[in-house]
Each structure stands twice: as structure tokens, then as C-alpha cells.
Chain A
Amino acid sequence: MKKLMTLLAVSGFAVAGEASADYALNLTEGVTELSRDIHDLHMLIFWICVGIGVLVYGILVYSLIHHRKSKGAVPAQFHENTKIEILWTVIPFLILLGMAIPATRVMIKVYDTTGADLTVKVTGYQWKWKYDYLDEGVSFFSTLSAKSNEARQMGSGIDPATVDHYLLDVDHPLVLPVGKKVRFLFTGGDVLHAWWVPDLGWKKDTIPGFITDGWATIEKPGTYRGQCTELCGRDHAFMPIVVIAKPEAEYREWLAAQKGTAVQAAGEPATSQEKPSDHQPEPPLAAAGSSEATSPAPAIGEPLTQEVAMTLGKEVYESHCQSCHQANGEGVPGLFPAIHGSQVVQGPLAAHIQLVLNGKPPLMASFRNILKPQEVAAVITYQRNAFGNSTGDLVQPADIATH
């Protein structure tokens, strides 16, 4: 007990320096009209509860003090009173009616996704987000930042307090324009997830095979952080969301840079869904604030050398395969098979390609639309020549295209 208290005090001091300034007691007002409306609803119902609470607890405490036997209280005989019973049924009902009206008004607003200026499709994957700017042909994945990811491993020896925005930072944030109505379309790639940025005022489930929607008009430029809120497996806690809201002009600039970087190395997910050969490689995602260095990527269609395939394949493996099949390729017994010594990996190439392209529902996503042929080729090459596998195969994008 004493030990625990000391522990608490120590840990309290330890985090006080970095974090105390940040912690909040109440719901954020957020940066959209919806989030403010919802915050107001929250405060209204909160104060109603406080009011009822003061009354109810007040009467209870009064009774506990004054109607004690030790004070010589003699029990009264009453045990019903129709009038008062009707009263305390009707009055709460009226209070609720008073709550229902503003709640309905706000809910109708939440559901009004019409008249949007742009649409972003959000897909939840185990354990990353994919953002598609539907009208712009820009799309990319967003995963936990490398620093947080390193620090959060058990026995990493890294103090989370030394990591900026521990667990709330990503490699590629979602960039949105300020003052524009953004419509979000949500869907799931494998299991359920939920997309929540408290400053936008709501969360929405992402459901495989279905599309749900939501909207936000962000009023202030800034960085807004959130997390997945629907349990989605092992790394549910490790797929944060970062939204950067920029003034229209800066947003346009960012967008243009994205379109310029049509072809990216794997792991640098900004890609175009237009015909990829129209574009040339460019410095990737500088505007999004990505700090990671990237390896030069070969243009699509160009045959891979063993060396390039292995480097690219390792990157793809780390961002798309590792969370299940593990860094050492040993998998998780009973859940996720090992790559090391796998029958598929050491067997015929065609089966291996099929598996990666089609996935294994409900356990593994189909990568046909997630990775480019070049990336699939690279990661398969990598798997067939790493983790103690040594088939010596070199798979080419052209091999993938035929499947």
C-alpha cells in the first residue's frame, strides 16, 4: 500500500513535467460547428444532472443526518402518496422532453452530409488508415509514427515521455482545407474500426462491405489528433489519426505536391490512382511533414533487381505484414502463421502470389488494391529470401500482373 503510494507520487512527478499541461477534465469544444453543438448538449445535460443530483443527494443526506435512530427519531408511518408519485414521474418526463428537442436538432445536422466541397474516403485496416481524396485521385496510408512504434514495444527501453505525441503521431497525416465542408466516407478493409477525432465532434464506425459517412467543416488551422475507437485486434491502440487543417491555398499546394509524387517507394504511400505512368517520381510528401528518409524508387513496370526488390520488400513487409507475421517472421502460434519455413513461401510461386493478392478472410486483407504490382513483387521476393527462407526467386511486377 505504502509502496504503491510512493510509486504513484513518483510517477505523478515523472509525467507532470511533460504532460500535465495537456490533460483535460472535460469534453473538448472542438473546431467545428458540430463539435460545439455537441459540446453544448453535453454541458446542458451535465448541468441538468448536477441539478437533479444536488436535489436528490441533498434530501438523502438531510435524511441520513436528521432521521437517525441515535438522534431519537421515531419512524413515521406513511408509505405512499399518489400525488407526489405522479409528480416525480411527470416532472422528469418533461425535463427529458426538453432535452430531446435540442438533441434531435443536432442529430439532424450531424446527418446532413449534403453540399460537401470535397470527399475523403477513409478505410480502416489492421492497423492503419487509408485516405482517398476521391475527387483528386490522391490516396495514401497513415500509420503510427516510427518513434512511437519503437517506444511502445515491450522492453524497448524508451521512455514514452521522451517521444513527441506518444501514440498520437502518424507518418502521413490527413491534410484538409479550413472552411470547406469535408464529407467522409468510411469503410473497413478487414474488421470493424472507428474513426474518431474529438475536435471534429463525432466518431464513426468503419464497417467492411458497407459505407458510412460523416462531415466536418474545420474552422481553425491546426493539428487535431484522435484514435481508433472500435476494438480491432492486437494493435488497436496503435493506429492513431492526425488531421492537419490548412488554409485553402496551402492545402492546394500540398495536394499538388501529392499529385506530383505519383510513384512512390513502398512504405511511402502517396500514390495516384490515375494512370501511374503519367507521373514521374518527386520528393515525397514534404508538405505533410514526413521526416523519414525514403529510398529512391524504380518506376513502375521497370524490372527489379534482387537488391532493390529486397530493400523495397522489407519496407513493404514492415508496414503491411509485420504486425501479424511479426518482425522475426515467426507469426503468432494459432493465429498468424510464420513466414519462416512456410509451406506457401517455399512452395510454388503462383500460390504465394495468389495468397497475397486475394488475402485470407477474415484474417488477412486482400492486397490486390492496397499494393502496386511492383510492391507485391518486392515483398514476395523478400519473403522468399528472408527469415531463413532461401528460394533465390526474384519476382517481377510483370509476374504479378498476370495473376
Chain B
Amino acid sequence: MSVSAIHDDHHDHGPAKGLMRWVTTTNHKDIGTLYMVTSLIMFMVGGAMALVIRAELFEPGMQFVDPMFYNSMTTLHALIMVFGAVMPAFAGLANWMIPMMIGSPDMALPRLNNWSFWLLPFAVLMLMSTLFMEGGAAAAGWTLYPPLVLQTGAAFPFTIFTIHILGVSSILAAINIIVTILNMRAPGMTLMKMPLFVWTWLITAFLLIAIMPVFAGAVTMLLTDKFFGTSFFNAAGGGDPVLYQHLFWFFGHPEVYVLILPSFGIVSQIIPTFSRKRLFGYSSMVYATASIGFLSFIVWGHHQYTVGMPIEGELYFTYATMLIAVPTGVKVFNWISTMWRGAITFESPMLWAIAFVVLFTLGGFTGLMMSISPADLQYHDTYFIVAHFHYVLVSGAVFAIIGGVYYWLPKWTGRMYDERLAQLHFWLTTLSVNLCFFPQHFLGLAGMPRRIPDYALQFAEFNAWSSVGGFIFGFSQLIFCYIVIRCMRRQGEHASDEVWEGAGEHGLEFTLPSPAPYHTWETPPNVH
């Protein structure tokens, strides 16, 4: 990609001073930073909850927490990781990178942008405050299935309101991203020239707009069932508890793709740079992403193979789910072909991207196994699926985010992170994530159900390993925090404008100075 950029650096007014800068900012970089910092904090909070879970599961017997609190931990851990850590991280990356990548001076709707961020901290604070309410926080799992969820105490309406706010925040962010991408591209930046990260976010944004209202609707129906005497999900009043599951997973399955598509985008940015070769099969990547987006709407029933659907439904969802493996496979093949006969180097971002390809694919394999509905009658609601979704979400989504942070951090801060520490962080994380989650495959197959605070003796060894892995994983992330904070405090070597050898070939963002000035592309670049 060649660019003739005209940088004009006079009237480059910087940010306002003090705290109000962050409260009132409409600058996409500030808002990106806010999202990323919030995400990192929530990642640590959600992680602490995971460690409560892993501590209790270290040995058979109940050692530390009441089963009710344990259930609250699994529920909040999942909600916080999904809505407080991974989604905000993507939103942060979108804010920082999309304008810089498409040659736009900012997001299309800057005030809306501020609003959609600032809803977020209040929503997660409200969610966490439910821990201190009478009856404890919601404890029915992140899926919030009725009738169980209706047994929640005072936390119930607050949990639902949290979801409403998070939904509004996501929808606003999604609208902003779509409008930005469709209207703010630099001359010459046609759709089929956009970096893959932009493409994957565009598709993700459409998914978000389609699904968040469904989720909001479903939980509102829970609310009216509990407080206003409706019976949407109550058989005694003519309703059906399984209806909620259909609504939830109509949201939930596309949601898991909301959590992975931007990761596909990040990895598709990183791998070409460090292979020194163009992305293989760019257009098939775009089409594969779009078909995954489409398919994600028609496979939700694979979460409900055991509810007693008619066999036609069961088989339909089986076939549709199996189909998803095809475009997913295409993506993996494309990444590997990009590396094939490249000139590969192994800086930290590349390490994370390679680990992503390997471990995400592993999660894809178990996904494929679970798509076979008769086999899923055994796998469902066991640790096998816990292993599956942590492979795709932790060593998938989270790895891509961390890789993306290492990739762009020098551009954001103007400082190179400490490569030796970063390599340590990578290896500790990768080894421990496998120690934590790989044994869970065996646990599930051997018969351990998920969401239990105590288990039979034959599950003891693997659980002990898993807990040790979990703790190493958790504490390794402190290294990451340290590395990031150092860069943010402008410590460490200066980064060059290009940051990575030849990166200017792979993205407009690397043709800008490091650190990226407060305002960029006030005059759009010309993309050939």
C-alpha cells in the first residue's frame, strides 16, 4: 500500500488538561485509551474471580466459599470477561485503529463515542455492587436461564439493568463504527482495500446491532415475569422456559463471534507484517468472515441439543453448525499460507499471533466435535465445553488482543516495550493457559459437569493441575500490566515511525509518527 500523505502539523492542538480531559473527550485516541484501560482493569477483576473458582476446585471438598457464592463467581466472571474485558478491548482497538487505518481524522460521531464509553464503567460498577446486595449476586450462570435466575435476590433487577446499559453502549459503539467505516475512508480506500481488522469490525458491528436488542428483550421478559406477573417463561402460565434459551442463544451464538471476529482481524494484521509478505487470500478472508457472520445467526440450537427439540431441529442445527468449520478452516489455511515462504521473525506480537493460530484451531476442533449432536449429548455441560470455549476465548480472543496491544503499543506511546519481559510474559502465559485448560478436556470426557464447586475423587489430579495453571496464568498478567504501564509512562526506548521493519507496507497507521499525534489524518492520505 503506498501513500502520499501530507502531514500538516501547525494547528495541532493537544488535549485539554486534567481529569476533565477524560470525562469530556471526544477524541478517538483518548476514548480508545479509556476503553483499553477499563478493559485491563476488568480483565484483572474477572481474573481474580476465576482464581476464587480455581482455588475452590484445587482439591475435593468445600474449602473456601459457599456454593451460592461460587455460583455467583462463575456468573460474574463470565459476564465481566465478556462484557467488561473482551468487548471493551475490541472497542478500544477499534477507536484507536480504525480512523488511523482508513485515513480518517476521528470517528464519525465523536460525542456519541464519549457517551458509549462512559456508560460502561457505570454498568460494570453496578454489576459488581450486586455482590454486596441481599441474597448475593446473580448465581444462575452468565446465560441467566429461568426459572433459576428468578430465584436471584435483590441483585436481580440490577443485573438486568446492567445488561440493558451494556447493550446500549455496545449498540452505540457499533453504529459509530459502521458510520465511520462507510463514510470516513480516505480517497482511494475502497472497501476491498480496507485492512482486515476494519473489515472484521464492520461485520462485528452489524452482528452487535442485530443481537443486543434480542438479549435486552429476553432479559426484560425475565424482569416482567418476576415483577409484573407475566408468564413468558413459566409453563404454569402458558409460557416456556426453553423459549428463553432460544432467545438467549440467538443472541449468544453471534455474540461468541463478536468476541472472535475482531481477533481474526488483529491476527490478519500481525502475521503479514512479521512474515514480510502480503496476506494470503485477502478477498477470501473477507468472504469467509462474512459467511461466518451470517452462519452465526442460524446455528444457535447447538447449545440446546439436550432440551428435547424435535429431531428435525436437532439435525438442522447439527448440519448448520458443522458448516461453520468450513469458513473457519479457510481463515486458518490463509494465515498459514501467509507465513509459507515468508521471512518470518518472532517479535512478541507474532508469537501471540502464532499461538493464536495453533490454540484457536484446537478450540475449533473441539467445536467441530461438539457440533455432532449425538456426541454432544455426552459433552454438553461438562468440562469438555469449558475447555472448548476457553481455548477459543482465552488463547483465541484474549491472545489476539494482547498480541494487538504489543503490535500497536509503540505506535500509541512512542515507546518500545521491553521485549525480554514481553517474551517472558508470552511463554508463561502460553504454558500456563495450556496447563489450565488442556486437562479440562479429560475432565469433561471422564464425566465432570461444569459449574460445580466440588467434585468426585477421580477428578482430583486434573483439577489440581488446572488450578496451578490458572494461578500461574493470573499472576503472569501482572508482567503485562507492568510492561504496559511503563510504556504509558513514556519509559523505554523510542519507537521509530514504522515501528516494525517494513510495517509501512502493511498499514497506514505505520506511516504516521510515533507516538501518533493527538490529531491524525486531518488531511486524508491518498491511497493508491
Interface residues of A (CB under 8 A from B): 1, 4-5, 7-8, 11-12, 15-16, 18-20, 22-28, 37-38, 41-42, 45-46, 49, 52-53, 56-57, 59-60, 63-64, 67-70, 73-81, 84-85, 88-89, 92-93, 96, 99-100, 103-104, 106-108, 110-111, 151-154, 156, 159-161, 165-168, 186, 190-192, 194, 196, 198, 201-205, 207-210, 212-213, 226-238, 332-335, 361-363
Contact = CB atoms under 8 A, between A and B. Distances in A.
A97 B58 CA distance: 42
B62 A161 contact: no
B309 to A, nearest CB: 9
Given A96-B325, A107-B315, A335-B135, A22 B458 contact: yes
A76 B276 CA distance: 9
A159 B60 CA distance: 9
A303 to B, nearest CB: 35
Interface string B132-159: 0111100111000111101101100000
A198 B378 contact: yes
Contacts of A161: 60, 457
Contacts of A203: 306, 377-378, 380-381
A14 B242 CA distance: 43
Interface in B309-327: 311, 314-315, 318-319, 322-323, 325-326
Nearest to A235: B67
A60 B151 contact: no
Contact of A96 (B150, B326, B343, B455): B326
B307 interface: yes
B330 A89 contact: yes
B453 interface: yes
A208 B148 CA distance: 11
Contacts of B67: 234-238
A160 B442 contact: no
Contact of A201 (B341, B378, B382): B378
Given A107-B311, A107-B315, A208-B147, A167 B455 contact: yes
B459 interface: yes
Q: Which of A4, A46, A92, A228 has the most CB of B within 10 A?
A: A92
Interface residues of B, number: 107
A152 B147 CA distance: 26
A192 B241 contact: yes
Contacts of A212: 307-308
B247 interface: no
Interface stretch (B98-106, B169-177, B461-469): B461-469
Top-6 shortest CB links A-B: A209-B235, A334-B135, A334-B134, A212-B308, A237-B452, A334-B153
A57 B374 contact: no
Contacts of B377: 38, 110, 201-203
B345 A68 contact: yes
Contacts of B456: 165-168
Contacts of A22: 457-458
B280 A231 contact: no
Contact of A152 (B322, B451, B454): B454
A334 B442 contact: no
A190 B236 CA distance: 11
Contacts of B527: none
Nearest to B336: A60
B339 A63 contact: yes
